[in-house]
Chain A
Amino acid sequence: MSFGEYVISRWDTLSLAAAEHALVVAIAIALAALIGVGVGILGHGSPRVRETSIAAAAAILTVPSLALMTLLIPLTGLGWGSTLISLTVYAFLPIIRNTVTGLRGLDAATVEAGRGMGLSRLRLLAQVQLPLAWPLILTGIRISTQMIIGIAAIAAFVDGPGLGNQIFEGLSRLGSVNSLNATLAGTLGVVVIAVLFDLFFFAVRHLTTPRGLRVRP
C-alpha cells in the first residue's frame, strides 16, 4: 500500500488522532497561559515570586517527558489526565518568563504617568501594562505551543490521546506491513498541526496587537 492509499484508508483513525492531539495541546496551552500569565503578573512586582517561579518552571523542563508522565500515573491514571497535566507544566517557562520580561520592560515613565494620573494598580495593569506587554506574552505562548505539540506525541506511552500512537505503533513493528506508513503519517500529522497552530497565532497577533504599537512614525 502506498502512503497515499494508507492515509485514505485510515482517514477516520488518523483524523480523530490528529483532532485529539490538537485538542489536548489547546487545552493545555490555555491552562498554562491562564496560570503562567497570572504568575508572571505576580512575579513582575515581587522578586521572590519571580525567581522561585522561573526556577521551578525551568526545573520541570529538565525532567524527561516520558518520566514525568509515568510518574503521574499513580496520581492521575493513564490517558488524558496525566497527558494534560504534564503538557501544561512544560508550557510554563516561556509564558512566565515572557510575561515578566514584557511587564518589566515597559517604559518607566509610562507607568509613572499612569500612577500620577490616578489609575489604580489594577486599572493600570489592565488598561496599560498588559496591552503593552501583550505582543511579548503572546510570543511566549506561541513558543510553548510549538514545544508541547512535539511532547504530546510521547503521551502515547501513557495511553494518552494524539498522533503518538501512530508513530510509536509503527516504530514498534518496523519492517512489517504499513509500519513505515503509520510512523510517517503520525509524524507528518504533528508537523501539519504545528504549522496550523503557528498560523493561528500569527493571525491572533495581528488582530490583538494594539494599533498604536504597529504604526510607523
Chain B
Amino acid sequence: MFDRDTDGVRIELRALTKHYPGQPAPAVDNITMDIPAGELVVFVGPSGCGKTTTMKMINRLVEPTSGEIRIGGKDVLSLDPDELRRHIGYAIQQVGLFPHLTVAQNIGLVPKLLGWPQAKIDARVEELLALVSLEPSTFRGRYPRQLSGGQQQRVGVARALAADPPVMLMDEPFGATDPITREHLQNEFVRLQKQLRKTIIFVTHDFEEAIKLGDRIAVLREGSHIAQYDTPAAILSDPADDYVAGFIGQDATLKRLALVRVSDVPIADPLPDAALPQVTGDASLREALDVMLAHGSDRCGTPSGVLTYAALCAAVGSRPEKEVSEGVMSGGEVR
C-alpha cells in the first residue's frame, strides 16, 4: 500500500488541525512534523494535550479538520479508511483483545482480512508469538480471559504487528501493567524494534518511558504544540524551555547517564581488574555509577577494562571537581 524503501516509510504531518465543533480551542492546532522512516518517535505530554488525538488522525480514527498527512509519500486522506488501517499497526493501553476469539484468531484477524492463505496465517501467528516471548503451543489456543495483563499486552503488540505493517501507532501500550512487567515489556520492545525498524509513533505521558524507547521525543504542550522535538540526549542536555525542563525533572544528568552504555565509553585502563566491582558492557552508565557509589569506589571493572568516575563525567560533558575526585581516589573523607 505504501511505497517502502529498505528503511520503511516516512510520515509527514502538515499543518494538521482538529477542531471539535463547539469547543473554543482546537484540540490539535496546526502541527507540522516529520517522522523519519524506521524511527520510533514518542509523543509525550500531559493528559489532554492532544497527543492521542494527533496519533489517531494518522489512522483516521479521528478525521482531521484541516491539514495533510502523508505516509511513504501517499496522501492518507485520499485512501479508504478501513483499507488504510489494515496497513497500520495499532496497539492501545486497554489492549482490546476480542474475548470470543482465541489468541491465534486475534492475531490472525488482519492477515485474514487481507486475504492471506490460512497456512501463511498460521505460520505468522507462530512467528509472532515466539517474537513476543509467548510459547506458541501453549498460548495459540487460549482465550484472552485466560491471560494475565502482561500476556494480553504482548498479544496486543503481536496483533498490531500481524500483517507486518510498515507503520505502528501505539498509545501507552504498556500503561496498564505493573511496574515490573512494564519494564520487562519495554526492554523486550526495545530489542524488538532494533530488529524490525518500523516507523512507530508511541504516545505516553511517562518521560522515563519516552527516554528509554524513543529515537526521538516530541514534547507536546496544550493543543499539540511542539515544545521540543529532538533526540532524548539532546532534550536532556539542552531543554528548549522551562516547560520541557519541568517535564524532565531534577535528575536530567542521571537520565542522560542511563542512555549511554558502558561499552560505548572509552576506558581509562584497558587491563581488566578483577579486584574492582564489576559491571557488564551492556549496563548503562547510571548502573555503573550506582555500583561505584555502592562500593565507595571511583572506578569499576568492565569486561574490557576499567571505567573511572572521570570517564562518566566526560560522557555527559562535565569535569569532576579536583578536590572531590582526589578525595574519592585516596579513599579518604570527602569534604
Contacts and interface: CB of A to CB of B under 8 A. Distances in A.
Interface of A: 107-120, 123, 128, 131-132, 210-213, 215-217
Contact of A215 (B84, B110, B145): B145
5 contacts: A107-B94, A110-B98, A112-B61, A116-B90, A212-B100
B99 A213 contact: yes
A39 B156 CA distance: 33
Contacts of A112: 61, 92, 96
B86 interface: yes
B94 A118 contact: no
A24 B143 CA distance: 40
A116 B59 contact: yes
Contacts of B113: 117-119, 123
Nearest to B59: A116
Contacts of A119: 82, 109, 113
Contacts of A212: 98-102, 143-145
Interface string B227-247: 000000000000000000000
B285 to A, nearest CB: 38
Given A113-B97, A117-B86, 15 more contacts: A108-B94, A109-B92, A109-B93, A112-B92, A113-B90, A113-B95, A113-B156, A117-B110, A118-B82, A118-B87, A118-B113, A119-B82, A128-B98, A213-B99, A213-B100
A116 B85 contact: yes
Q: How large is the interface on B (under 10, 10 to 19, 20 to 34, 35 or more residues)?
A: 20 to 34
Contacts of B102: 212
Contacts of B146: 215, 217
B100 A131 contact: yes
A210 B100 contact: yes
Contacts of A117: 85-86, 90, 109-110, 113, 159
Nearest to A210: B100
Contacts of B100: 128, 131-132, 210-213
B110 A118 contact: yes
Nearest to B94: A109
Given A113-B97, A114-B96, A211 B143 contact: yes
Contacts of B87: 118
B143 A215 contact: yes
Q: Which of A111, A131, A212, A216 has the largest count of B CB atoms less than 10 A from its CB? A: A212
A207 B31 CA distance: 52
Among all A-B residue pairs, the 6 with the closest Cβ atoms: A113-B96, A109-B94, A118-B86, A210-B100, A118-B85, A116-B90
A206 to B, nearest CB: 15
Nearest to A211: B143
A109 B90 contact: no
Interface in B71-125: 82-87, 90, 92-102, 109-110, 113
A212 B102 CA distance: 7
Contacts of A120: 82
A115 B94 contact: no
Contacts of B92: 109, 112-113, 116
A212 B99 CA distance: 6
Given A117-B109, A215-B145, A217-B145, A132 B99 contact: yes
B145 A118 contact: no
Interface string B244-283: 0000000000000000000000000000000000000000
A165 B265 CA distance: 96
Nearest to B98: A128
Contacts of A213: 99-100, 145
Contacts of B96: 107, 109-114
Interface in B123-152: 143-146
B84 to A, nearest CB: 7
B98 A114 contact: yes
Nearest to B84: A118
A111 B159 CA distance: 15
B52 to A, nearest CB: 11
Contacts of A107: 94, 96
A13 B326 CA distance: 111
A70 to B, nearest CB: 46
Nearest to B159: A117
A97 B96 CA distance: 25
Contacts of A111: 96
B18 to A, nearest CB: 17
Contacts of A108: 94
B90 A110 contact: no
Contacts of A109: 92-96
Contacts of A128: 98, 100
Contacts of A215: 143, 145-146
Nearest to A116: B90
Contacts of B61: 112, 115-116
A211 B98 CA distance: 12
A123 B145 CA distance: 23
A126 B90 CA distance: 21
